[in-house]
Structure 1
Amino acid sequence: MLPFQRLALQIHSFAALIALVLADPNDWVNVDYVISQAKVEGRSPTADARAAIIRNAQSSAGKGPWTVTSVKDILPPSKDPHDYLSWAPYHWPNCNWCSKAGRTHLAHTSLGSGHNDSAPSTSASSVLNPDDAYENEAVLNLSHRRPRRRSHSHTQALLPLMDIGIEQGQNVIPTSVPDLPVQNTATASSLSATAIPSILPVKFSALSPPAPTSTSQSRGHGPAQAAAKTTAKTSKTSCVPSPTISLAPSATWTTCPYVARDGQVNPDVRTLNGPDAINDVAQAVLYSAVAFALTRTSIYSVNVAKWIKGFFLDSATKMNPNMNFGQIVRGPGLDGVSGTFTGILDLRGLVKIANAVAIIKAANSPDWTPGQDQQMRSWSLDYSDWLMTSPIGMKTATRPNNHATFYVSQVVATKILSGDRPGAATALQDFFAGIFLDQVAKSGEQPFEAVRTRPFHYRSFNLEALITNAKLGDQLGLNLWAAKSKYGATIQTALDFAMALDPRDEDVSQIFPHVAAVAAAYGDPAGKYAAFLKKREPTYQSKSYWFYDQSSALPNAPAKNTRRVIWQREDFSQINGSDPIANVPFECPAVFRDEASVEIDNGVYVTCEELEPYFTEGKVEITLSATLFA
């Protein structure tokens, strides 16, 4: 087997592994509905889904506990292992090392498009001369099919280093490299003998750092190993002075400027413990809480209490109630000592945590004690305060896309955990009366998601958060399903639009749970949602979401024929699910009142002019396919 074939097989196996461990999308299952389902006798229409949840709870029982402190080789800038740490997933080093023998090129394996919790694809890329790389629109926006504003680069600060398993000379870049950002032919030609890093296994090192020789790079380095060798000499161009001829690739984390490549996941972000830990504990506790309510088997509630205690409450392992170091953009400079607004997204699983606590409390579990409940209330109050008052939290709250939508989910979840139901309801009402108004065009398109490099994924991703928020509202007695955007579109409108798209090379399965949720909320008299699921995922009735997404679980949704006013406000009284909104001509979203271009992800900016076609045309670079409904 050729080296690049072995690499492809390795990446394929890694992708399969990631796909197996991915959790369900963010969700909320109505607490009263879960409790009532324990009394259902005979064969239930959701029997297969219930059985799947119980199996998943049983599988989780042998895992955990999960904590942010379980791996301490890499500490956040605070040096406190209780602080959550993650790296911005779409940022890549943009640097060349200078040395006596020539220029050192650090080759990286790009795991392709994907959100930071999605399976990678196979492609290869390399970091080239900072004067050349990422200066071409086609290079920066690899998946764009229409002009885009160039993402802004970041030069940010020092982080401790670690070995990411790069083995010297392991593999050779294959001859076909579709997304290689070649701008300098002399530079590109030298890459044929450059080592591609291995993505497995992840190893940690405590070797002494190399001593810097340049005053401009005189900051201390952390542990490093597996030095990258210098390649052949090239013409004189801009490069960063190298402390040694052979320099560890991990030195890029603190020395090279990092630039945004929207949708292109840097594989080394997976070497940190925090992101997987929160996703795993959130999914495990929700499965186990539902399983306890359905079966009254004590091991499930014991596990819920144990896992929440380990992650949030135990003094030795608890997570501090902040996201000060979420999705840090690495590189030199002072800004990198802080997290970014996108980092809050990492803790979206907190909705499942709040859901699990509410379920086991309603089920009168003796394993969730008043003392634990009070501790969790206290943690939630502290985190809610951080969300609403920290600079990071306040910036996230103003983003016009999925970041604000998921942010609201967390605010509401923490308020439910702390017992502040009126505050939770107000946060939801403010969102649907504000940011949501500009999120969905009349056609159902979501322009702030459609403009991204993976538009189908991001449409589905924001729908995930919108549906979660509507379900949270339903739990609080609100019919937010009937909320309309400025252009008269609802969550259902957005789902219908996304269903009609050709996802191209993206994962269509991301939308399946949303189809079931919309059918439950709005009804499916023509059977189009059932037909879609039956055609695309014949086993959908055995998925956990099928248990969650039943009309009986949404007592305030339109399918239950309720006509509740969403909120009593004169200025938004027309958005009550009954009064139609007249055709509204396009106007720039409110977020552009103070900014000509708006940052929608780390280093990714968009202008009103770029969004306008998505609002007015209702279709940009899409293929409608009626056969998807057949």
Structure 2
Amino acid sequence: MVTNKQIPYIFIFFILLSFKGFSVSLLQMDTLVLYQVKQKIQDGTASERTLSAYKALISKANKLLSIENPTVMDKTIMPPTGNKHDYLSISRYWWPDPESPNGLPWSRKDGETNPDTQTNAVDRKRLGTLTSGVENLCLAYYFSNDTRYAEKAASMLKTWFLDEETRMNPHLEYAQSVPGNSKGRSSGILDGKSIASVVPDALIIISNSSYWTKNDTENINQWLSEYLTWLTESELGNTENNQKNNHASWYKFQVASLAYYLGNETLAKETVSLAQESLDQQLDFEGKQTHELERTRSFFYSCYNLEALSSIAMVGDKIDMDMWNFKSKNKKSLALAISYITPIIDGKEWPYTDIYGTDLSRLVSTLSRMSKHSKSKTYSKLLSKTIDILLKKEKSTHEKNDILDALCLKGEINI
């Protein structure tokens, strides 16, 4: 006889069986919630917004089927090593001197993207195409069971990480470089956040398909292991770890996420602990993210850092470390940081510079995650109010819609 207490466990057991081999918990998505979204899409009971987001997802996935796989070998600017397998990007906020014949020295204009740094001459756009494309394809495969999407995602991953002729070397020594500066810059490690955000979950989703083998998993895990070693042992990695802003948070996220995925729970716990301790350096006693407020895009970077910290907290959930409700020795916490920034939802003016204005969609993911992990109902109310404001705005950017659609599909919000 099945008791009421047994029902949830049996339910989860059948959920895991329902998707062949999908028995490993995802890192940055809720496995059970994702399954529930899938069921609602398939039986037509999902919200209109979610169904619309699903159709958009499939449309994007269909377009991805015919694109050429991105690779680091396609850049036209050569890394200092002369080896195209080494990833290279140019820092977006740096500009050449218009009065200098060769443009040197370049200078930084915080918040102002130099379009010449974002071209296909370097690798950053291609890495973005890879990670966003793989995530899109894997979700399309999961929701639709159409193996074409798994096949293309696997092909893209193999081209970028595994194939000898096209693979990226597992380091970011030349990421976010600046012309005229031959030294590596630790800030370039930020480029790798999309790898740690997307690849582990993508591998879990496609690992059951016939297009991804156990040998493929072993090989890509070797690549990720070598990249993790570079992150934790290189001078650039050590420098980035010791920053006091979003760069350090996203660095710690990468290390914690990859360490957990690769089975190094000790390193994952150490890194989450360091992230908890870092709140004392990142926040003042009001919850201001002091280093982000110095930026010309202060609201964006404050939200961006909260996203990183909440992503680390998601990893913490896997290793029984509750970062959501953690307080440092100086009473600093995620809740304190959120409480400082959220009055803007009620109409309070943002008192710091943000040259592009304040986009509330940047808060939605953090509020959603916090609402599910805090005993306080405050975050659920703030989340609902934020979404209402966003939906009532007459002008809606593609970026905002993409954020909301992605959160609907992942089950983080329900609109």
TM-score normalised by the chain length of structure 2? 0.79
Equivalent positions of 1:237-248 (< 5 A) are none
Displacement of 1:341 after TM fit? 0.7
Structure-2 residue corresponding to 1:435: 278
Once the two structures are overlaid, the 10-residue window that deviates more, 39-48 or 421-430, is: 39-48
Question: 2:279 touches 2:332 (CA, 8 Å); kept in 1?
Answer: no
Displacement of 1:476 after TM fit? 4.1
Shift of the 431–515 alpha-carbon distance from structure 1 to 2, 3 Å rule, reads closer
Equivalent positions of 1:211-610 (< 5 A) are 251-252=102-103, 256-271=104-119, 272-331=121-180, 336-350=181-195, 351-361=197-207, 364-432=208-276, 434-501=277-344, 502-503=349-350, 505-508=356-359, 509-522=361-374, 524=377, 527-538=381-392, 543-550=405-412
Q: In the TM superposition, what whole-angstrom CA distance separates every residue of 1:312-338 from its partner, at most 9, and x where no partner exists?
A: 11111111001111112222xxxx223
Q: Could you tell me how far apart the structure 1 residues matched to 2:368 and 2:63 are?
A: 25
Displacement of 1:528 after TM fit? 3.0
Count residues in correspondence: 363
Structure-2 residue corresponding to 1:574: none
Displacement of 1:278 after TM fit? 1.1
Question: 2:200 touches 2:261 (CA, 8 Å); kept in 1?
Answer: yes
Shift of the 50–425 alpha-carbon distance from structure 1 to 2, 3 Å rule, reads farther
The 3-state SS of whatever aligns with 2:179 is coil
Displacement of 1:413 after TM fit? 3.0
Q: Could you tell me how far apart the structure 1 residues matched to 2:45 and 2:285 are?
A: 42
Q: Could you tell me how far apart the structure 1 residues matched to 2:209 and 2:188 are?
A: 33
Q: Could you tell me how far apart the structure 1 residues matched to 2:342 and 2:294 are?
A: 17
Displacement of 1:506 after TM fit? 1.9
Q: Could you tell me how far apart the structure 2 residues matched to 1:56 and 1:507 are?
A: 28
Q: Could you tell me how far apart the structure 2 residues matched to 1:477 and 1:295 are?
A: 33
Structure-1 residue corresponding to 2:13: none
Shift of the 534–294 alpha-carbon distance from structure 1 to 2, 3 Å rule, reads same
Q: Could you tell me how far apart the structure 2 residues matched to 1:475 and 1:289 are?
A: 22
The 3-state SS of whatever aligns with 2:174 is coil
Say yes or no: does 1:78 pair with 2:81: yes
Q: In the TM superposition, what whole-angstrom CA distance separates every residue of 1:352-388 from its partner, at most 9, and x where no partner exists?
A: 1122112223xx2222111110111110111011001
Structure-1 residue corresponding to 2:70: 66
Amino acid at match of 2:412: Q
The 3-state SS of whatever aligns with 2:74 is coil
Amino acid at match of 2:187: T
Shift of the 379–32 alpha-carbon distance from structure 1 to 2, 3 Å rule, reads farther
The 3-state SS of whatever aligns with 2:79 is coil
TM-score normalised by the chain length of structure 1? 0.53
Structure-2 residue corresponding to 1:179: none
Displacement of 1:537 after TM fit? 3.3
Question: 1:470 touches 1:481 (CA, 8 Å); kept in 2?
Answer: yes
Shift of the 355–328 alpha-carbon distance from structure 1 to 2, 3 Å rule, reads same
The 3-state SS of whatever aligns with 2:283 is coil
Amino acid at match of 2:60: N
Q: Could you tell me how far apart the structure 2 residues matched to 1:474 and 1:324 are?
A: 31
Amino acid at match of 1:298: T
Could you list the structure 1 runs, at least 4 aligned residues long, displaced by more than 6 angstroms after superposition.
none
Q: Could you tell me how far apart the structure 2 residues matched to 1:64 and 1:524 are?
A: 47
Structure 1 residues without counterparts, runs of 5 or longer:
1-26, 95-105, 107-126, 128-239, 241-246, 553-630
Question: 1:31 touches 1:355 (CA, 8 Å); kept in 2?
Answer: no
Displacement of 1:389 after TM fit? 0.7
Q: Could you tell me how far apart the structure 2 residues matched to 1:90 and 1:528 are?
A: 33
Question: 2:86 touches 2:174 (CA, 8 Å); kept in 1?
Answer: yes
Question: 1:76 touches 1:83 (CA, 8 Å); kept in 2?
Answer: yes
Q: In the TM superposition, what whole-angstrom CA distance separates every residue of 1:223-273 from its partner, at most 9, and x where no partner exists?
A: xxxxxxxxxxxxxxxxx7xxxxxx5xxx22xxx223333223223211333
Q: Could you tell me how far apart the structure 2 residues matched to 1:85 and 1:30 are?
A: 33
Q: In the TM superposition, what whole-angstrom CA distance separates every residue of 1:37-61 from its partner, at most 9, and x where no partner exists?
A: 4445551355444444444333433
Structure-2 residue corresponding to 1:200: none
Structure-2 residue corresponding to 1:92: 95
Q: Could you tell me how far apart the structure 2 residues matched to 1:337 and 1:542 are?
A: 40
Structure-2 residue corresponding to 1:43: 45
Equivalent positions of 1:30-179 (< 5 A) are 30-35=30-35, 37-40=37-40, 41=43, 43-45=45-47, 46-71=50-75, 73-94=76-97, 106=98, 127=99
Q: In the TM superposition, what whole-angstrom CA distance separates every residue of 1:514-533 from its partner, at most 9, and x where no partner exists?
A: 33333344364673320221
Question: 2:71 touches 2:168 (CA, 8 Å); kept in 1?
Answer: yes
Amino acid at match of 1:465: A
Amino acid at match of 1:535: I
Question: 1:312 touches 1:318 (CA, 8 Å); kept in 2?
Answer: yes
Alpha-carbon RMSD across the aligned residues, in angstroms, is: 2.7
Q: Could you tell me how far apart the structure 1 residues matched to 2:335 and 2:253 are?
A: 19
Shift of the 282–427 alpha-carbon distance from structure 1 to 2, 3 Å rule, reads same
Q: In the TM superposition, what whole-angstrom CA distance separates every residue of 1:456-491 from its partner, at most 9, and x where no partner exists?
A: 111011112112111222244432211224543432
Once the two structures are overlaid, the 10-residue window that deviates more, 527-536 or 516-525, is: 516-525
Question: 2:154 touches 2:206 (CA, 8 Å); kept in 1?
Answer: no
Structure 2 residues without counterparts, runs of 5 or longer:
1-26
Question: 2:175 touches 2:185 (CA, 8 Å); kept in 1?
Answer: yes
Q: In the TM superposition, what whole-angstrom CA distance separates every residue of 1:152-208 from its partner, at most 9, and x where no partner exists?
A: xxxxxxxxxxxxxxxxxxxxxxxxxxxxxxxxxxxxxxxxxxxxxxxxxxxxxxxxx
The 3-state SS of whatever aligns with 2:90 is coil
Amino acid at match of 1:295: S
Shift of the 326–427 alpha-carbon distance from structure 1 to 2, 3 Å rule, reads same
Structure-1 residue corresponding to 2:12: none
Q: Could you tell me how far apart the structure 1 residues matched to 2:307 and 2:68 are?
A: 26
Q: Could you tell me how far apart the structure 2 residues matched to 1:89 and 1:449 are?
A: 17
Q: Could you tell me how far apart the structure 2 residues matched to 1:78 and 1:419 are?
A: 33
Amino acid at match of 1:516: S
Q: Could you tell me how far apart the structure 1 residues matched to 2:391 and 2:329 are?
A: 34
Question: 1:377 touches 1:419 (CA, 8 Å); kept in 2?
Answer: no
Q: Could you tell me how far apart the structure 1 residues matched to 2:335 and 2:31 are?
A: 23
Amino acid at match of 1:60: L
Displacement of 1:431 after TM fit? 2.0
Question: 1:441 touches 1:485 (CA, 8 Å); kept in 2?
Answer: no
Q: Could you tell me how far apart the structure 2 residues matched to 1:49 and 1:437 are?
A: 39
Question: 1:516 touches 1:546 (CA, 8 Å); kept in 2?
Answer: no
Q: In the TM superposition, what whole-angstrom CA distance separates every residue of 1:545-568 from its partner, at most 9, and x where no partner exists?
A: 13335399xxxxxxxxxxxxxxxx
Question: 2:154 touches 2:211 (CA, 8 Å); kept in 1?
Answer: yes
Question: 2:37 touches 2:46 (CA, 8 Å); kept in 1?
Answer: no
Amino acid at match of 2:46: S
Structure-1 residue corresponding to 2:18: none
Once the two structures are overlaid, the 10-residue window that deviates more, 391-400 or 451-460, is: 451-460
